[in-house]
Amino acid sequence: MEVRTLDYHTAGEPLRIVTSGLPGIPGETMLDKRRFMKEELDHFRRFLMLEPRGHADMYGAVLTGPVTPDGDIGVLFLHNEGYSTMCGHGIIALVTAGLEHGLFEAAAAPLVRIDTPAGRITATAHYDSRGRIDSVSFLNVPSFVLHEQHRVDVDGTPVDCTIAFGGAFYAYVDAEPLGLEVAPGEASRMIHLGRKIKECVNREEIIRHPTGEPDMNFLYGTIFVRQGVEPGHSRNACVFADGELDRSPTGTGVSGRAAIEVHKGRLKSGEILKIDSFIGTRFEVRYRETVEVAGIQAIIPEVRGSAHICGEHRFVLDERDPLGDGFLVR
């Protein structure tokens, strides 16, 4: 086995983009393709995401053909546990890498139409005065609040959360009552609490996407929110998959944050939320349009951030390697 990749990072969060070595992935929809890869090609995910080639916080993307008539590209997102339905930092890195390295053709570049398991993403690359991609913005799938106030018991402590969708479902938790500053020194504690909260919510089986699509009905992660001293500024720390701690502010996560702020009447159309990660990198998010999803009010968020190349890789599998299938140590 030989797989080649381009590795980028968006605001500190990695994206390993497969450029060759995988077979074609059939399916009429991106959810079909996601199911096929999960059932038939999961050894590729383990090969690239887990140790010794990856690590507990690795993230990846596999390009596919589009599933819509006007789509430019399709994408599946990989992580240490399985497959996401959408990924904002991944979109930003994918568009940057795709246009910089010619990974795909975009009919209306710098606009790129991307099919994801969660739906259509429309991204735009923004260039600096020297013709280099400076940032990428994207219009996300409809984002909304599912449960405004939900309480779970975490090791005997009641924790209140808001459950919202921004391409995936998250439980949003106020960090201050938990004594969290949302800082790098708290990484282990945030991972522990984030896992516990996710487990509690998923155990209650209260996640139901209004469209009725069963493959969307799971809590992807926990997001700790610390409000900033300035209006419109805050910090996010997202614990997702099997205890992955997102280094970026989380593109789907800030989309859900915008939906929450609109739901509470604290964000108007066109106003910008500046959301930092726990390492100090930043995304900006706003919305311009409201829509309805199966009777639920939703917004179309616009997220903006920057990505940078880290390297190019040629990964091989020694058939004699007893650890060739990968392993994970946190």
Q: Which residues are catalytic?
A: 87
34 vs 326: CA distance, rounded Å: 21
278 vs 62: CA distance, rounded Å: 27
Return the SS3 of 178. Answer: helix
- The sign of the dihedral angle between the CA atoms of 175, 249, 273, 87 is negative
Q: Shortest CA distance to 249 belongs to which of 210, 303, 193?
A: 303
- The sign of the dihedral angle between the CA atoms of 229, 222, 284, 141 is negative
13 vs 32: CA distance, rounded Å: 27
214 vs 241: CA distance, rounded Å: 18
> In sequence order, what are the residues at sequence separation of 6 or more whose Cβ sits closer than 8 angstroms to the Cβ of residue 208?
146, 217
167 vs 142: CA distance, rounded Å: 8
Q: How many CA atoms lie within 13 A of 315 on its CB side?
A: 27
Cα–Cα distance list, 58 to 27, 202, 325 (Å): 26, 23, 15
H or E segment and range at residue 68: none
